[in-house]
Amino acid sequence: MKLVLVGLNWKTATQEVLEKFAIPENGMGMALAGMMEYPSVKECAIISTCNRTEIYTVSDDAYQSFRNTKEYLARYNSSTVDEIDGYLYAYRGFDAVRHLFRVASGIDSLVLGEPQISGQVKDAYEYSLKFDASGPFLNRLFPKAISVVKRVRTDTAVGAGAVSVSSAAVDLVKKIISQLDEKSAMVIGAGEMGGLAARHLVSAGIRDVTVTNRTFDRAMKLADEMQGSAVRFEEFKSRLKLADVVISATGAPGFIITKEDAVRVIKERTNRFWVLIDIAHPSDIDPSCHEVENVFLYNIFDLRSVVEENLDERKKEAEKAEKIIVGEVESFGKWFETYRAAPIIVELRKKFDGLKDKEVEKAISQLKGADEKTVRTIMAMANSLMNKFLHQPISALKQGENLENGVSAGEAIRKIFDLDDGEGVSVSEEKESVES
């Protein structure tokens, strides 16, 4: 069994190209069926997100599987292999295992340490199960990847600290204000930044969110998603006094909140604190607002320094995660060598059992009149000798050792003892041999 991965991601292709290769949820069954039609492919799983599409295959012929996967991706994109080849990367064997563990742990993500990818890896495995594309290898590999994620998250802080301006803004709010569920917020601007800020605010616990935007329909849409309220842009200043926190993220060419606004709002709030966070560029809020007593103003440059510090911390933690992953790949490798050796161990034991039984039978026939105790003694001695003779070769098989000339222990033992290919070995026999 050989694992091959072929894919493309945010490092090798533009967003426009990635979108062409993205496989939607409702197309996953067809994609897996398309891959499984290739005779070389025995098992398959596909990870497809906005930042990557990767196809993992298990086969007896790695090169053919590699070619078939490229052909499939070209066909899916109505292109030729030559046209897409420059976007693709490939890994095989334990390099592919390591890559999957890095992907699942967020180490290979555009946003280092992002947690969503582990759920997407889990989804990929569930699709593989659902559409009968998984088998013994992937059934071990993908659950192992998920367990690696848990260990990385437990033992490192690679996912800690906000690494986007919007999330950093909300982290800042949490540090300044306690009991967020009793506070209200206004988000000015319903674009990507404003939308992210609104979602982070709700996740942080703020229940009362008001959204305003120059296009009122967009404000209403975002407000509905947040179960908040929308206010027309022409009217938002009259509602500022009600918001303990204001996050502004518009594309306005000039200030939309001035120092005069701040003076008025603080008076209307009877000097209660007012937190203003400006994540727009150019700025939405006049910097002189911070001169007003009880106004706390932070701009995008303050937040970027926080984001950069958090990213530096995540990079340090990623180094710890890489060491964990190396150890987990080795652990998976030990399982795989044992799994791969199972059919050979079964055949080897069958061969020696047959020889042993013949010799024991011959010895007992020569001991005419041997009593039961003598027969049991001979049998025990024969079994003991066989186990001792087999101990070293079976250990070599389980450890996946290679000889000096690069020939594997399995290949050597098959040849020396004239074993067949193990196709007739049952699953229960393999399991017994692995556990013995």
Per-residue model confidence as pLDDT tens digits over 93-126: 999 999 999 999 999 998 899 888 999 999 999 9
The packing angle between helices 409-416 and 372-398, to 10°, is 140
Nearest by Cα to 227 from 241, 207, 213: 207
| Between residues 64 and 171, the one the model is more confident about | 64
Per-residue pLDDT averaged across 350-379, rounded?
Answer: 88
Is 44 an active-site residue? no
Which alpha helices (H) appear in 259-299, and where do they start and end?
Answer: 259-268
Q: Give residue 370's pLDDT.
A: 81
The percentage of residues in the chain with a pLDDT greater than 90, rounded to a whole number, is 63
| 11, 30, 33, 50: the active-site residue | 50
Task: Give the residue carrying structure tokens 């506070």.
Answer: 183
Identify the band that residue 395 occupies on the pLDDT scale cut at 50, 70 and 90.
confident
Cβ atoms < 10 Å from Cβ of 263:
15
Lowest mean pLDDT: which of 81-95, 122-136, 153-167? 153-167
Q: Give residue 402's pLDDT.
A: 64
Nearest by Cα to 168 from 225, 118, 111, 209: 111
> Does 433 score more than 50 pLDDT?
no
Q: Name the token pair of 288.
A: 């002189």
The packing angle between helices 372-398 and 300-366, to 10°, is 150
Cβ atoms < 10 Å from Cβ of 353:
13
Q: Give residue 68's pLDDT.
A: 96
User: From CA 139, how far away is CA 129, in angstroms rounded?
Assistant: 8
User: From CA 285, how far away is CA 277, in angstroms rounded?
Assistant: 8
Ranked by mean pLDDT, which of 234-243, 357-366, 413-422 comes out on top?
A: 234-243
> Does 52 score more than 50 pLDDT?
yes
DSSP secondary-structure letter at 26? G
Per-residue pLDDT averaged across 130-138, rounded?
Answer: 95
Contacts of 60 (CB under 8 A, 6+ apart): 1, 2, 40, 42
Per-residue pLDDT averaged across 27-56, rounded?
Answer: 96
Q: Give residue 404's pLDDT.
A: 62
Lowest mean pLDDT: which of 49-58, 364-373, 392-401? 392-401
User: From CA 277, how far away is CA 299, in angstroms rounded?
Assistant: 6
The secondary structure element, H or E, covering residue 46 is: strand 41-49
